[in-house]
Amino acid sequence: MSKLAIEIHNLAVYYGQTPALTNVCLEVAEGDYLGIIGPNGGGKSTLLKAILGLVPVAEGSVRIYGQSPSHSRALIGYVPQFAAMDKNFPITLFEVVLTGRLRKRLTPFFRYSSQDKDITYELLARVGLADLANRQIAELSGGEFQKMLLARALALNPKILLLDEPTANVDAVSRDQIFSLLAELNKDMTIILVTHDLLAISSEVHRLACLNGKLVYHGEPEINEDIVNSLYGCPVDLIAHGVPHRVLREHKEHDQHFGPISYQGNIEHIKHNELQSYSSECGYREEKAE
Ligand code: ADP
């Protein structure tokens, strides 16, 4: 059995008196590629922050290769949400990626080494942005911006990569390029990708977890309507086109799951990359579902 990269037991995180996560148990094996879906406010970002040690753990534990998150920072690359970034900050793409080489806070008279700069150029080439190195980040497209964040997350050659909505604000071509890159990176690193957008889960993920305050499913990357409806708290249509990629199937007894969910929904074939989901009833409507 492969080594565990991440072990989370009975995790609870509160903001003030309000629980963001309760009773979350999750194990991620080394080399795994886990997709986590769930509605906005479902605690996905909070879970990533708990893995990074950026939010206090009220109950339970998080272990990264057996260590606490605070001792594991160097092992983890993190792509934060696009929305959380100041896109008008006067800085070039190269400089942003270069900051990923920092191991500690900046000190007076600090200088990056020539190796830091060489690695930064290599990373920009790897994500296809070498030609834009000196461009201001305000002038980048959504796809270029996300690739820049990905390059920055790779700057210290992490063993684990966490991505928060990495294809938000990204066109379909850039999304596919990002997914191809992640599949390539997954040969060397464990990946967790979270998103509220069912379209934004790469078909390459090995396993899927569904999070809405607590984990409501964790297992094979095949989900049925009941799970999705339960997760989003409202009906979500799953519409398929073309060659089936994922198969919605009846729950089998040995599948892991958490919470009171019926798995006896309709069995349908869906093509993952062209999955369209929406429900106007609860305001959950995907821009790409048009
Ligand atoms: P998601 O990433 O699934 O959209 P989040 O982890 O961002 O969910 O948020 C989970 C819940 O915690 C939400 O109700 C959100 O409003 C709340 N929350 C997140 N960050 C904070 C914060 N810094 N202070 C207070 N509440 C927060």
pLDDT tens digit sequence for 220-238: 777 666 777 777 765 554 4
Going from the N-terminus, what domains does the chain have, and what CATH number goes with each?
A: 4-289 (3.40.50.300)
Nearest-CA residue for ligand 1 atom 21 is: 15
Nearest-CA residue for ligand 1 atom 6 is: 43
Whole-number pLDDT of residue 106: 64
43 Cα–ligand 1 center, Å: 6
Q: Which residues line ligand 1 (CB under 6 A)?
A: 15, 20, 38, 40-46
Of the candidates 29, 76, 30, the residue with the CA atom closest to the CA atom of residue 50:
76
Nearest-CA residue for ligand 1 atom 16 is: 41
Of the candidates 149, 178, 154, the residue with the CA atom closest to the CA atom of residue 81:
149
242 Cα–ligand 1 center, Å: 36
pLDDT tens per residue, range 157-201: 999 999 999 998 899 999 999 999 999 999 999 999 999 877 677
Shortest-distance atom of ligand 1 to CA 48: 6
| Residue 275 CA neighbour count, 13 Å, CB half | 27
For the whole model, what pTM was predicted? Answer: 0.81
